[in-house]
Amino acid sequence: MKPVPPFPDAGGLPIASVERETGLSKDTLRVWERRYGFPTPARDANGERVYAPDQVRRLAQVKRLLDRGHRPGKLLTLDDAALAALDQVQGAAPAAPADPELESWLEGVRNHDMEALQRRFYQELARRGLAAFVQDIFAPLVTRVGEAWARNELGVFEEHLFSQHMEKLLRGALANMTPTGGAPRVLLTTLSGEEHHLGLLMVEALLVTEGAEPILLGPQTPIEEIVRAAELKQADVVSLSFSSAYAPGLAAKGLGELRAALPSHRQLWAGGAGVRALRKPIEGVSLMPGLQELFDCLEAWRRQA
């Protein structure tokens, strides 16, 4: 039994750790090495791959560019400079030219200044109201922090501390809202393997303000149990969240299976950065790449009901 990745003692990571860190499967890592000559892991006494931290960082960078639409064949034959150039270019994404307000929030994250973040959080929340706050500040900030983490501008510690504080604050805000028992009833969860659940909380917040009834199941529910939960709770909609780290193939596979297992009168929605990578629509599944689309889905459901 060799379940445990030795900790990064010797400055090298075994393949299982690299899979976890980068989200690239072991198969993919091996086939890239074979085909493109990168990465080039050393070998330990037992002939097993040991990846240098530098290469792991670069793999994470490549993964991010892949998610942005680039192709492996190109990326893996580029040198460091060209890769870094690609990373900077048009990273700002569509119509988000480095929002200075967002950057000032990010500064707080960098300095672990949680008190300041908390103060601004409540200020903005009071000023804008929950729904607008989630859409205009919270969601972009979470995305930005994720990007900054992927670019190695933030450490794991800063990212964890930020996530915990955001969760605490958002849950605190939600605790004050009386559940309305409205419609539709929406079951919120993620598939196994997807741990990120801040997206679920954001959707919960928006649903509550819209008078719908969210049922929060938390992350990582097996498909069979999602179906059972939907029946038992008589949910009108099942809504899943996918982070950008979730393999698009797996997401499509899981959504197809769930759609097949779920009675057709229960709708299936999928949101999060991870669905942006799904090129083709899936029969019977509503995709919500951004939070805005949630309102469209909601309205469509209500018109139909």
Partner DNA sequence: TTTCATATTTGTCTAGGACAAACTCTTGAC
Partner DNA sequence: GTCAAGAGTTTGTCCTAGACAAATATGAAA
Contact residues: DNA, CB under 7 A: 1-6, 14-16, 25-28, 30-32, 34-35, 45-49, 66, 71-74, 247-250, 252-253, 279-280
| Residue 96 binds which of its own copies, DNA, none (CB < 5-8 A, kind-dependent) | none
Q: Smallest gap, in angstroms, from Cβ of residue 209 to its own copies?
A: 17
As a whole number of angstroms, the distance between CA 271 and CA 241 comes to 5
- The DSSP element (H or E) to which 138 belongs, if any, is none
Residue 292 touches which member of DNA, its own copies, none, C-beta under 5-8 Å by kind: none
Residue 16 as a binder of its own copies (CB under 8 A): the answer is: yes
Assess whether the previous peptide bond of 3 is cis (omega < 30° from 0): no
Rounded CA separation 259/266 (Å): 9
Min separation Cβ 76 and DNA, Å: 7
> Any idea what DSSP says for residue 10?
T
Partner in contact with 74, chosen from its own copies, DNA, none, beta carbon below 5 to 8 Å by kind: DNA
Choosing among DNA, its own copies, none, which partner's interface includes residue 94 (Cβ < 5 to 8 Å by kind)? Answer: none
Of 149-188, binders to its own copies (CB under 8 A) are 155-157, 160-161, 163-164, 167-168, 171-172, 174-175
> Do residues 256 and 282 lie in contact, with contact meaning Cβ atoms separated by under 8 Å?
yes
Q: Does the protein bind its own copies through residue 126 (CB under 8 A)?
A: no
- Residue 157's CB is within 10 A of a number of other CB atoms, namely 9
Q: Where are the alpha helices (DSSP H) in the chain?
A: 15-22, 26-36, 53-67, 72-75, 80-88, 100-110, 114-128, 130-133, 139-150, 156-175, 198-209, 223-232, 248-261, 292-304
Between 34 and 127, name the residue whose CB sits nearer to DNA. 34
| Closer CB to DNA, 245 or 298, in the complex | 245
- Which does residue 31 bind out of DNA, its own copies, none, counting CB within 5 to 8 angstroms by kind? DNA
> Can you tell me which of 130, 142, 240, 252 binds its own copies, judged by CB under 8 A?
252
Q: Pick what 153 binds: its own copies, DNA, none; C-beta below 5 to 8 Å, kind-dependent.
A: none
189 binds its own copies (CB under 8 A): yes
Q: Which does 20 bind (CB under 5 to 8 A by kind): DNA, its own copies, none?
A: its own copies
DSSP structure class, residue 275: G
- For residue 196, give the H/E element and its range: none
Query: What would you report as the CA-atom Rg of the chain, rounded to the nearest whole angstrom?
Result: 21
The structure tokens 């928006």 sit at 206
Q: Which residue has the tokens 């034959």?
A: 77
What is the Cα–Cα distance from 278 to 258, expressed in whole angstroms?
Answer: 16
CA 259, CA 255: separation in Å to the nearest integer?
Answer: 6
With respect to its own copies, which residue has the nearer C-beta, 60 or 142? Answer: 60
Site residues for its own copies per CB under 8 A: 1-5, 7-9, 13-14, 16-17, 20-21, 23, 57, 60, 112, 155-157, 160-161, 163-164, 167-168, 171-172, 174-175, 189, 191-193, 195, 215-218, 221-226, 228-229, 232-233, 247-250, 252-254, 256-257, 260-261
